[in-house]
Amino acid sequence: MRGLGRLGRPGAQAALVAIDPRTGDVIAMVGGGNYGKSQFNRATDARRQPGSAFKPLVALAALEADDREAPAFTLASIVRDEPLSVTTPQGIWQPVDYDGNYRGQVTFREALEQSLNVPFARIGLAIGPERVVSTARRLGITGTLHAVPSIALGSSEVTLLELARAYGVLATAGKLAATRTVVGLRDAGGATHDTSVPNVTQVANPAATFLVTSALMGAVQHGTGRALGAEGLYGDIAGKTGTSNDWRDAWFIAYSPEIVVGAWVGYDDGTSLRMSGASAALPIVAEFFSSASVSGERFDVPDGIERGYTSTGGWGGCGESEYFLAGTAPASGGCGFRAFAGSAFEGLSEFKDALRRMIVDRMREERESRRPRRGGRR
């Protein structure tokens, strides 16, 4: 694997898997750095902590409504990024953000795009670890999952193939495709014969998966996965980095509507890699995408999605434009008058901020108006 040699980490291993999320077909798989030295397939058999790469599954659990209740969160929900202590049977758990800083109040979208640990720990506690486990099971995670608070930050081990398959559910508007490694046979005469047909099941709400995808597109555009966006790839790409405790595991998984590509980097014995998912695994995925034949297909906006504004606007202005499940946007649309307190300078500053947001929102809406949609809802 060419991307592994650039890391300068002798003895480190890497794995890669690429699947077609629509059919479950395995397009490419690399189980290690050198098959001659080790035949262990780290893509299918190594169970490692995914760290923040597990957060999209937590996000889906929080954003998806069930038959009786509204979703616990929206992308505009405010979550506190402040010190947190949780008492567990194993002792006090105190999650911290990767940079050791706290940002106060952040939106759900910001927490996912910037991969903030403390807000996601709070989200996991609010919905309950059991709901996180249940959602992960629906998305095809079959290994042992512990319903403890730290599961929101990826403390339970998964395989790379499992996690890529789960991301495939996000890529296909909630459909889980069983993995296929053999799709047909060719006889001596050259004729091909199908040996299996895709096994696809609807396991998640399409609108809720779109919300997660929207935030993960933001992660690639200006969040923790922005180095992939800087590669200049065409079409819609969503993705998420992951780094486990003590830098033992580095992950990056990216997807479009037609392909999911995931990479893991680490040492077999758990030695600290001292590299993040963005620095170790993301370049491997970027290299694969740059050589893959990807059409640039865009994510459709499904039925059940509406646009609204967050309630953070200033004087006479609106907050940020955001996607919501139908019926969950703020009743006022997030717009309205809010009197400014303090000096005239503070008021002018807020006015400028509101004007900037309105311009950015208008540009975003113009881009989204060119995006293909299913159905006629706006």
Residue 367, pLDDT score: 62
Residue 375, pLDDT score: 45
Q: Which residues of the chain have pLDDT under 50?
A: 314-316, 336-347, 375-378
DSSP 259-291: -EEEEEEE-TT-------HHHHTHHHHHHHHHH
Residue 320, pLDDT score: 80
Domain ranges of the chain: 2-73+121-291, 305-369
For residues 186 and 192, is the Cβ–Cβ distance under 8 A? yes
3-class secondary structure, 87: strand
For residues 326 and 377, is the Cβ–Cβ distance under 8 A? yes
Per-residue burial over 138-163, b = 16 or more CB atoms within 10 Å of its CB, e = otherwise: bbbbeeebeebbbbbbbbbbbbbbbb
Query: For the domain bounded by 2-73+121-291, which CATH number is listed?
Result: 3.40.710.10
Residue 291, pLDDT score: 84
Rounded-to-integer distance, Cα 17 and Cα 31, Å: 8
Residue 130, pLDDT score: 97
Residue 230, pLDDT score: 65
Q: pTM, whole model, 2 decimals?
A: 0.84
Residue 187, pLDDT score: 72
Residue 342, pLDDT score: 36
